[in-house]
Structure 1
């Protein structure tokens, strides 16, 4: 834990209420959401200090370049939308007071009080800046703290209403299932184990989403420029074009994924069952079923026979995978092995935000083998981790970390 700044002009009155708001966020969300708000403490000399559990060097917003500022504000906006969803959910649960408390945190940030720590937004003075010299007696300097403020940027918070519509869509999709597909011919779909004896803790549910979109046929060293050149050029480059030959040469992204996944599956805890889902274009995400420890050889053989083709339905596959696990009364882990952003015109970040509200015990880890970081919001919103590498050995280590919760479960 580290201190960001000391605020000699702030009054310590009301700090407990601020801490209660942070505790409310932590009750429903992973720490990544609550970390937006620095933790107030009373330091030496009764001076208010602002602390954070994030590691890294705090950098003021105005010291960032334009791209860094834009990225920081976008991440702040995503966290704010998540709070709005929670406030709406608390109202439906009959907790309007807590919802109203959260809504006081929603709004554009004071850029003079906004920091970046490794790209994550952190706001200081967030509960006290609306308390200039009031009726509480205080020394003269407190009456007019010298703080340079820039005009606030108002954001279209009415967009939260659209997220409510997304919630209705998710409710409707809950009752819809694609028929399960057999990974191997002649093999019946495995069924999840019955629960363990009453009173004992169930092991985490585990789902692997393996990207089998067409871009997984690219060489492991192919870049985003290579990918855009091939898939967006019109007419499409010829197969004998030297650049085409190079970017489709072995070892492909899918080759590396198969090798890495095989090693991970062999090391899973024996109490963990594995559900495998893949892509088959924007409208189908095959669910190959749940495989017990005894069925892992069949699972591995099936993975080795997979081919890559068509689009990248990240949002749809994440929604479908989330429907297959509990994530409320039982822990669940989803590992998404992907090489880019959603390619089917859906907003995967909003899907992840809804999951964080409805399934707080579901963590989604993202293993990104491509150059794009747009899908990282999935892990950020659900309290998961992000692993990125195009090196085969590094990728195996990344997957090992991404599945640690189901490799070492008790």
Structure 2
């Protein structure tokens, strides 16, 4: 669930007037489920429009011409689908629902703006002048009015007369015979072409088929080896006898008095030799005393409102739920109320996440610090909860047990905050995204992750998606990390331990 825009004007009168028609459309399949955005008051004079679609919301007027045409085509398909649904409801006897949808398409006062979210059309039914509102259903209204205004024309035979009717029937029957004759003529031309190709001499068009004389082989002349002569040894003349020198008595000098040796200077203690990593994926960073530094580890814990849903809730059910009018749940149909109730049955995502987090903290090696970041409401700046040492792990686990799930999915801002606080160049660093979806604040996490990977090559991002969908996996791919998507609630704790403790232990073993 993500916010599209803030609107000081709020929903138009047409939006409220056709609430029944919008509820009918929300019970249908794509492309009607997410065609209309929903509004919620944020506690002030401002209204926020929300959607369950994933991707950045861009106003149609800001798109290039080609993308505007493509968006208009998909929007027209959605209007065609609504008209088809009207006819189906009439055939099924649901005249009241059909009339509500027909009144929606024929309402000339329905003003609003069209946005593109991942290439899909999204309507914001507001008359705020800043949005440049336009009639939303003008094309459908013109088409429905034209279909009602054109009376059924007379048969062609009556307009042309009896003679024309008699001539028309043979002409219609002769048309297939003409196409058959044309096809036969083309087949004959193709057969002649193939016959010429396979039977004509190949040397007429293919010069490679002509024989080519092989190049002459030139044998090299044999090398002439010169005989190797033995070295000439010059004759040695007889040596003359050398007379012995006269004997000289040695003079014994007096022994000098040795000077006292100076005291040895104290030698400085040898500096410790820096350790070199045995694993190319890790580097051994040292502090001022030569001690090996452990990697920097940041964990981003999802505290968005969607964490209140059951761990068994599917992404399709989540998108459907957040596309409903959450501010007026009392007016929901029995079907919508029952479907929403099933999304909160069983173990919630936040409860499973708290248990998995405590298990991961207990598995960390001694001496490994952990930094914690959580989300904030209305896509505000994320909350840096602090650095927790080994002695403070009990306080860290108690903090997680008291954090509430009520915020927006401010994932990219949290990732930028964590990346700005680590070295990632001369020291290994790890960021773990423990989340249940994509960014919900109109940010591109894939582009941001690629930029972080270029600036900090020693930083790894591991993603643990507790929905089992593998969302935000591009962050791990860009930095050489891993994405873990547990399919069952019992596998979430093991996935978080693998994403965090495994990296820490490998770094420790590489610098032992």
Q: For each residue in 1:327-374, what CA deviation from the matched residue of structure 2 results, as whole angstroms up to 9, or x when unmatched?
A: 111000111011111100001111100110111001000001125544
The equivalent position to 1:249 in structure 2, one of 335, 345, 355, is 345
Shift of 1:196: 4.3
Instruction: Give the counterpart of 1:363 among 460, 464, 487.
Output: 460
Q: 2:297 aligns with which of 206, 227, 251?
A: 206
Relative to structure 1, the CA distance from residue 409 to residue 201 in structure 2 (aligned partners, 3 Å threshold; closer, same or farther) is same
Q: Which residue of 2 aligns with 1:311?
A: 408
Q: Does 1:291 align with 2:376?
A: no
CA distance in 1, matches of 2:325, 2:315: 17
Number of the residue aligned with 2:189: none
Match of 1:395 in 2: 492
State the 1:409 CA deviation.
Answer: 4.2
Establish whether residue 345 from structure 1 lines up as the match of residue 442 from structure 2: yes
Unpaired runs of 5+ residues, structure 2, are 1-207, 209-285
State how far apart, in whole Å, the 1-side matches of 2:481 and 2:472 are.
12
2:369 corresponds in structure 1 to 273
Aligned to 2:324: 233
CA displacement, residues 173-225 of structure 1 (integer Å, 9 cap, x when unaligned): xxxxxxxxxxxxxxxxxxxxxx7453332100011101110101100000111
Return the alpha-carbon distance in structure 1 between the equivalents of residues 363 and 326 of structure 2.
Answer: 45
State the secondary structure of the residue aligned to 2:368: coil
Match of 2:431 in 1: 334
- 1:98-247 equivalences under 5 Å are 196=287, 198-234=289-325, 238=329, 241-247=337-343
Question: What TM-score do you get using the length of structure 1 for normalisation?
Answer: 0.50
Match of 1:405 in 2: 503
Distance in 2 of aligned mates of 1:255 and 1:389? 15
Q: Which has the larger Rg?
A: 2
Distance in 2 separating the partners of 1:372 and 1:387: 9
Question: 1:2-27: per-residue Cα shift (whole Å, max 9, x none)?
Answer: xxxxxxxxxxxxxxxxxxxxxxxxxx
Structure 1 gap ranges (5+): 1-139, 141-194
- Structure-2-length-normalised TM-score: 0.41
Query: 2-side partners of 1:389 and 1:233: how far apart?
Result: 28
Distance 1:237 1:219, change over 3 A: farther
Cα 1:371–1:233 change in 2 (3 A) is farther
Give aligned pairs, total: 218
| Closer/same/farther in 2, CA of residues 374 and 256 from structure 1, 3 Å limit | closer
Q: Secondary structure at the match of 1:384?
A: coil
Q: Secondary structure at the match of 1:337?
A: strand
Distance (Å, rounded) in 2 between the aligned partners of 1:221 and 1:251: 8
- Provide closer, same or farther for how the CA distance between residues 285 and 405 of structure 1 changes in structure 2, counting only shifts above 3 A: same
Contact 1:267 1:407 in 2 (8 A): no
What is the SS of the residue equivalent to 1:238? Answer: helix
CA distance in 2, matches of 1:230, 1:237: 13
Q: Detail structure 1 runs of 4+ shifted over 6 Å in the superposition.
A: none
Distance 2:326 2:360 in 1: 40
How far apart in 1 are the matches of 2:392 and 2:483? 29
Match of residue 101 from structure 1:
none
Say whether the 8 Å CA contact 1:217–1:254 is kept in structure 2: yes
Report if the CA contact (8 A) 1:366-1:385 is conserved.
yes
Q: Distance in 1 between matches of 2:490 and 2:431?
A: 22
Distance 1:352 1:345, change over 3 A: same
Q: Tell me how far apart the structure 2 counterparts of residues 248 and 237 of structure 1 sit (CA, whole Å).
A: 18
